[in-house]
Structure 1
């Protein structure tokens, strides 16, 4: 590969993609998440249907092709279009990457709203690290056992979308964590200083 800007950009993109795939695999192996994941058999069937999509593909392309596909989870039935943004900014390298994205439906639906809201921004920097931090914050909110209806996820998603609308930019990941911690404390949920939300 030539040592020019395009070659370096491709190498950086490939490395970011490999890191995302490693993170996704680790995430799939975790068993301590509070929201029950969509069963592996259901995700396998979804991946089989996704073979009709030419990868890499944007989320919009996936939704266009198989958006009406229903996914059964322990907490209900979702259509794929309810969990993936209709956005060209979100891309997937493989059917497995789509499976990981939708594995936790409440977090996937919240990220869908955030991604679609950020599409309105001219120069939104919603790169891998910020996106991962948002997702980790939403998962931490989902882990609050006393909050069965995932109110925290809804509150923080609304706050992020409002920040995008009002300020015309994505809030920083620390600001999102700080707002999530504020929600937890004001709602009587304990947040330890050694936890992700303990900011």
Structure 2
């Protein structure tokens, strides 16, 4: 596109269109997920408090501002500090990214443990695609049975952290999915081959 006013407007419109398409795709993907355990009004209030944070922001920066803020969930009360990693490695692009992380506290707390454990690795870093795969696997486990108090999420988080500590490296995304599927099958949940956990 030409570098003139019309070209810049076209680029901006294309960027907006792509953003809307991503949001629609994410919403369609989430349709099968159970309702988040944190009340949406609680999340909306938290998001207004996040206006004090300049984004993009690291976990450290968000915690410095709102770390002791309580978040009420169906399974208990958490502080923001318990749900976000205390690190400058992970960056949140917007208040919405923080909100999306916090809306599933068990998954958020488990990802915090994984991120913080991975920081001790000298030659490896939990990158975007692997981080996404870990989180998606944990969310799938949380969605299997909303009444099991997310036992699978905790078990898988323990397994990943143990692997990091024992082997000195991050387990592969496929190995994490396989371990999650094994847990589900051992608990009597059927996993089809066409599902994310169906490895």
TM-score bracket for the superposition, by shorter chain length: 0.7 to 0.9
Unaligned 5+ segments in structure 1 are 1-14
After superposition, give the CA deviation of every residue in 1:113-165 in whole Å (9 maximum; x if it has no partner): 10111111123231111111111111111122286122111111001001100
Give the 5 Å matches for 1:164-179: 164-179=164-179
Change (3 A) 1:34 1:198: same
Counterpart for residue 161 of structure 1: 161
Q: Please report how far the alpha carbon of residue 32 of structure 1 lies from its aligned counterpart in structure 2 after TM superposition.
A: 2.8
Counterpart for residue 88 of structure 1: 88
With the length of structure 1 as denominator, give the TM-score of the two structures: 0.82
- Report the 3-state secondary structure (helix = DSSP H, G, I; strand = E; otherwise coil) of the residue aligned with 1:71: strand
Which range moved further: 89-98 or 23-32? 23-32
1:28, 1:100 within 8 Å by CA — same for their partners in 2? no
Cα distance in 2 for residues equivalent to 1:149 and 1:37: 11
Counterpart for residue 118 of structure 2: 118
Whose relative contact order is higher, 1 or 2, with alpha carbons under 8 Å and at least 6 apart?
Answer: 1
- Report the 3-state secondary structure (helix = DSSP H, G, I; strand = E; otherwise coil) of the residue aligned with 2:87: coil
- Report the 3-state secondary structure (helix = DSSP H, G, I; strand = E; otherwise coil) of the residue aligned with 2:124: coil
Number of residue-to-residue matches in the alignment: 182
Cα distance in 2 for residues equivalent to 1:106 and 1:189: 20
Change (3 A) 1:24 1:150: farther
With the length of structure 2 as denominator, give the TM-score of the two structures: 0.82
Change (3 A) 1:139 1:43: same
- Report the 3-state secondary structure (helix = DSSP H, G, I; strand = E; otherwise coil) of the residue aligned with 1:72: strand
- Report the 3-state secondary structure (helix = DSSP H, G, I; strand = E; otherwise coil) of the residue aligned with 1:171: coil
Runs of at least 4 residues off by over 6 Å: none
Cα distance in 2 for residues equivalent to 1:92 and 1:24: 20
Cα distance in 1 for residues equivalent to 2:23 and 2:135: 12
1:191, 1:198 within 8 Å by CA — same for their partners in 2? yes
Counterpart for residue 193 of structure 1: 193
Counterpart for residue 77 of structure 1: 77
Larger radius of gyration, structure 1 or 2? 2
